[in-house]
């Protein structure tokens, strides 16, 4: 670690739980962020600021004026640009040491199979169930921890699925593919801007903890935020033996 890095990350290094070794793990890590919107923005900025050495951001969408109410990685000047590239610009401006790879593609099974296998942690910041299930399947296959978050209207949720642990449920255990609820989108339902920052910040925290080996993750615990009353609640999650993705008959 260089003198500049020791200074830049000094507030991490001062933490007994992180120290020089933990910060070095962050510098050596590769994080994969799926989605550069409301959740992906704070995740990308905090991971870059924290010194995660290699970050890949995947998003096929373009920056729209309606995004700017909550997607803080983007600016008015970058309306019409690819979200992945816009987020990469913000990350590099914050920390030019970080290697950022921006992909303007849909996160389909083939692409995810390649990207997830080379990642230390995946942060799912997308906005549709099809992609979430594809991300989950790739993480289970390659045994890579997945930090999952979602926000709509004034409600949010966040958890960790860690396929390295035999007791961990996966996304399909909690949200079976054949029981997917109707899709809801911000464009029709709305979302209170800071809530994506709250959930995205928790996602970034969990990702950093997983990489640095700090504390206990949210594995097996779904944290739910009622933003209207600012109340958190927790639901315990169990692995399902008949899960089509991680169950005994899935392999």
Express each pLDDT in 123-149 by its tens digit.
999 999 999 999 999 999 999 999 999
Q: How high does pLDDT run on average in the chain? A: 95
Q: Model confidence at 188, in pLDDT bands (50, 70, 90)?
A: confident
184: confidence class by pLDDT, cuts 50, 70, 90? low
Rg (alpha carbons) of the chain, rounded to whole number: 17
Rounded Cα distance between 179 and 157, Å, is: 18
Q: Give the residue numbers annotated as catalytic, written as ranges.
A: 186
pTM of the entire structure? 0.96
The pLDDT of residue 187 is 67
- Looking only at the bridges linking them, the beta strands covering 146-152 and 121-124 are parallel
Percent of the residues in the chain that have a pLDDT greater than 90, as a whole number:
92
Structural domains in the chain, sorted by start? 3-250 (3.40.50.720)
Q: Is the pLDDT of residue 28 over 80?
A: yes
Instruction: Give 45-76 pLDDT, tens digit per residue.
Output: 999 999 999 999 999 999 999 999 999 999 99
With a cut of 80, say whether residue 101 has pLDDT above it: yes
Confidence of residue 183 (pLDDT cuts 50, 70, 90): low
């Amino acid at each position: 670690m260089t003198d500049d890095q020791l200074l830049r990350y000094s507030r991490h290094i001062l933490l007994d739980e992180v120290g020089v070794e933990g910060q070095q793990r962050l510098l050596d890590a590769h994080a994969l962020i799926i989605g550069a919107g409301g959740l992906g923005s704070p995740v990308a900025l905090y991971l870059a600021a924290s010194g995660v050495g290699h970050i890949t951001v995947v998003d096929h969408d373009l920056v729209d004026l309606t995004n700017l109410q909550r997607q803080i990685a983007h600016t008015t000047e970058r309306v019409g640009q690819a979200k992945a590239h816009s987020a990469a610009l913000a990350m590099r401006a914050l920390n030019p040491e970080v290697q950022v790879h921006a992909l303007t593609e849909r996160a389909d099974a083939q692409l995810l199979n390649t990207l997830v296998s080379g990642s230390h942690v995946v942060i799912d910041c997308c906005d549709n169930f099809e992609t979430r299930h594809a991300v989950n399947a790739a993480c289970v296959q390659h045994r890579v921890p997945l930090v999952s978050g979602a926000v709509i209207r004034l409600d949010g949720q966040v958890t960790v699925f860690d396929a390295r642990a035999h007791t961990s449920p996966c996304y399909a255990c909690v949200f079976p593919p054949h029981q997917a609820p109707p899709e809801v989108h911000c464009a029709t339902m709305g979302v209170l801007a800071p809530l994506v920052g709250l959930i995205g910040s928790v996602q970034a925290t969990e990702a950093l903890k997983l990489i640095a080996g700090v504390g206990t993750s949210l594995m097996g615990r779904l944290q739910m935020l009622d933003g209207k009353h600012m109340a958190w609640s927790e639901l315990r999650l169990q692995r399902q033996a008949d899960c089509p993705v991680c169950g005994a008959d899935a392999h």
